[in-house]
Chain A
Amino acid sequence: MKKMALLALLGLSLGAFLGAENLAINAAGATFPYPIYSKWFDVYHTAQPTIQINYQSIGSGGGIRQLTAGTVDFGASDMPMNDDQIKEFQTKNGFSVLHFPTVLGAVVPTYNLPQVSADLKFSEKALAGIYLGTITKWNDPEIVNANPGVPLPKDDVVVIHRSDGSGTTFIWTDFLSKASPEWKSKVGSGTSVNWPVGLGGKGNEGVSGLVKQTPDSIGYVELIYALQNNIPFGYVQNADGKFLKASLAGVTAAAAGASKNMPDDFRISITDAPGATAYPISSFTWLLVPQQIKDPAKRDAIKGFLKWMLTDGQQYNEGLSYAKLPKAVADKELKAISRIQ
């Protein structure tokens, strides 16, 4: 009796094992696109039940490290890998790594001025000056001139930035580097920088919490976070000199404007992009895929997913407040998929 039960159990587990020919693909990286990625992987798993993609949102840096070490099948990052990182990947693995833009994000300035009800307009020089610490008062001419008729106080500006390393900070500092040569040489752009002034808040919620708590403060948060939490934000001057309020359409326009010069490896910064409707603080986020994938089943699965993501997958973007890829970029990426071998 006992033996039979044991045999039955064995048979059952064997059957379960053979029946589930699931192909598990592991990926890790950026946290910013995590909501859309998990939606994509989920929908794709329903369409292709044998393919299961596990994504860990451990941060862009961690994603690049794990990809280089070969512990994940593909990675994800909010900033493109730099030349040193690509070289390191090549020497370790013997082949290169490909970048695939997936969705677009944007960053918006948010502020707390109790006596001002109008949406403020920020010139590029004003934002750079505030974050460099050269503009210290709200009634600085650089801010006043862009906002005629707004009663700006003579109080000190309290600058707030992200304390944790993040793609949001990368986009923000990348924009400031283009807006101000002084910022570029003194501070530079990256996921964490040596801030000249200000207080750090952890995460979008930390920054918006500090801004809400501190009168006369200014901070920056992701567009998605601001939209979903109804956080008011200001206009930003773009490369054409127009003041724009961030919107998904403005972000896609920035991508379209910049992608005329899209390089073949897709490593492009689209902050301060040309175009009257282009929102200037925008960026792609990327999937990082090894150029050679040994396991043919895995290779086909990843290629299949990329193709689906660039076509059908894009329809899920705006529901989750991510901007769509411009069609020209998606088409160019579809051609690039064949480079995976």
Chain B
Amino acid sequence: MSTTSTTFDRAAPPGSRLRAFLGRLRQGDEVAHVITLIFAVSILVITSLLVYKLWVSSHLSRAQFGWNFFWTTTWDPIFDKFGALPFIYGTLVTSVISLIIAVPLGLAAAIFLAELAPRKLSDSIAFLIDLLAAVPSVIYGLLGIFVVVPLMRTVIGPALKATLGDLPIFGGPNYGVGFLTSGIVLAIMVVPFIISVSREVLLTVPRDQREAALSLGATRWEATWQVVVPWARSGIMGSIFLALARALGETMAVTMVIGNNPKISASLFAPGYTIAAVIANEFTEATGDLYLSSLIELGLVLFLMTFLLNGLARLLIIATGRGGGRPS
């Protein structure tokens, strides 16, 4: 194994650089470099092609509706009127509900598994959690239809109405399907991602950190909450983004329990619709050119939303990263 330093090469004249390159090529180092570079660049190429194709194919719809596409609420394939707002709303609301449920649950479970549980128990539970993450989403959808929907109609819904029924978000009729049900099913789907990744990250926190905190007189909980978790914060945030990305793009499970009605309602019991669900539902039978183009523009909107949310989240990490935690 040679450990050639690139900073050294930069100073050398071009001829010798080429010779040095060929030398390393023979040793195999540069080959590995080029191959991995190609694979890394291919991600960029695939993403740009995706955006390019979405942009070009949504031309008709963009020309017809312009920015109004984002603000209008009618989705009418017969009269060729298309607006994305109810779908954007539904996608955001269901994702936010799922994170509100999944983040505390997942984080608490990860802390228990990484910090408090005996290693054997922790490993076997982690194995089961990884299995959960691999379950096809249609299975979660069926679980939603046959378990969560009846529960929502007979137990959860009435209980919420009895206690918090005065709030507008719990008003209106409760059919069992709707924003809240989708949020709950999504939460069940994304919680394994949060637990699995957060647990791994917490396990990588060096032992010294805990011992230092404990030796300063911190209780076990204080050491965990004030030292270990902040240290692992960026990794935990990463697990939450992964969960968010899955929630934003989930199709099958959501469409089975959300009611598929493009309306914006304050009530979480009301039926709604998400971007991924409407694309999956209507793409195969979309006959008009403008109709198809509008569905593709919805795909572009979903891509933009994911992009923006991820960007915002990354900014959030950078902004909060200065306060302490892992030294950079």
A199 touches B255 (CB 8 A): no
With A156-B173, A163-B255, A199-B259 given, is the CB distance from A213 to B145 under 8 Å?
yes
Q: What's the tally of chain A residues with a CB closer than 8 Å to chain B?
A: 35
- In the complex formed, the residue of A with least CB distance to B252 is A202
With A199-B260, A206-B256 given, is the CB distance from A61 to B281 under 8 Å?
no
The residues of A that contact B255 with a CB separation of less than 8 Å are: 163, 202
With A194-B77, A200-B259, A214-B175 given, is the CB distance from A61 to B271 under 8 Å?
no
Q: Is A291 an interface residue (CB 8 A)?
A: no
With A199-B175, A206-B256, A213-B150 given, is the CB distance from A194 to B75 under 8 Å?
yes
Mask, B275-311, CB within 8 Å of A = 1, is: 0010011111111000010000000000000000000
Bound-state CA distance A62–B282 (Å) is 11
Q: Is B78 an interface residue (CB 8 A)?
A: yes
Bound-state CA distance A226–B215 (Å) is 71
Across the interface, A60 reaches (CB within 8 A) one of B74, B259, B287, B292, namely B287
B285 touches A60 (CB 8 A): yes
- In the complex formed, the residue of B with least CB distance to A209 is B145
Bound-state CA distance A165–B255 (Å) is 13
Across the interface, A59 reaches (CB within 8 A) one of B81, B153, B175, B284, namely B284
A202 touches B259 (CB 8 A): no
With A199-B175, A213-B149, A213-B176 given, is the CB distance from A165 to B76 under 8 Å?
no
Q: Is B79 an interface residue (CB 8 A)?
A: yes
With A158-B175, A165-B281 given, is the CB distance from A85 to B287 under 8 Å?
yes
> A-B contact count, CB below 8 Å?
92
Bound-state CA distance A239–B241 (Å) is 57
Q: Is A129 an interface residue (CB 8 A)?
A: no
What is the predominant secondary structure among interface residues of chain B facing chain A?
A: loop
A163 touches B260 (CB 8 A): yes
Name which of A183-191, A253-261, A321-329 contacts chain B.
Answer: A183-191
Q: A187-B78, A210-B177 are in contact. List 20 more A-B contacts (CB 8 A).
A: A59-B284, A62-B284, A64-B287, A65-B287, A165-B77, A165-B282, A167-B285, A188-B78, A192-B286, A193-B76, A198-B261, A199-B261, A200-B259, A202-B260, A202-B281, A206-B256, A213-B145, A213-B153, A214-B153, A214-B175
Please provide the 10 A-B residue pairs with the shortest distance between their CB atoms, ordered closest to farther. A165-B285, A200-B260, A59-B284, A163-B260, A194-B76, A188-B78, A191-B285, A164-B281, A199-B259, A61-B285
List, sorted by A's number, 27 A–B pairs whose CB atoms are closer than 8 Å: A58-B284, A60-B285, A61-B287, A65-B287, A164-B280, A165-B283, A188-B78, A192-B282, A193-B76, A193-B77, A193-B78, A194-B77, A195-B261, A198-B261, A199-B175, A199-B177, A200-B261, A200-B271, A200-B281, A202-B255, A202-B256, A202-B281, A210-B145, A213-B149, A213-B150, A213-B153, A213-B176
